[in-house]
Amino acid sequence: MSDEMIRAIGKLEGRLDSMHETSKANSDKLDAIDKRLRAVETRSATYGTVGGALAGVGISLLVAKLKGITGTGP
């Protein structure tokens, strides 16, 4: 092989190594973002469940109180 071809192959190998490093860095960033997002989604689901349960209990208590005031119901 000629020196020119060897240099061209070396350039290609260097570029490929650079692309591999960039891909690895992007993969690591994506993993970190995924981990953070999973924590946020879990917390959000927990807060939604607790909020829904509290709202349901609050409405039930309000209905019972109104029935007691108006004298309707069992």
Task: Give Cα separations from 33 to 23, 28, 29, 44, 59 (angstroms).
Answer: 15, 9, 6, 16, 38
pLDDT classification of 73: cutoffs 50, 70, 90: low
Percent of the chain with pLDDT over 70: 97
Q: What pLDDT digit, counting tens, does each position of 41-70 carry? A: 999 999 999 999 999 999 999 999 998 887
What tokens were used for 49?
């469940």
pLDDT at 70: 78
Residue 34 has pLDDT above 70, yes or no: yes
Domain residue spans of the chain: 1-74
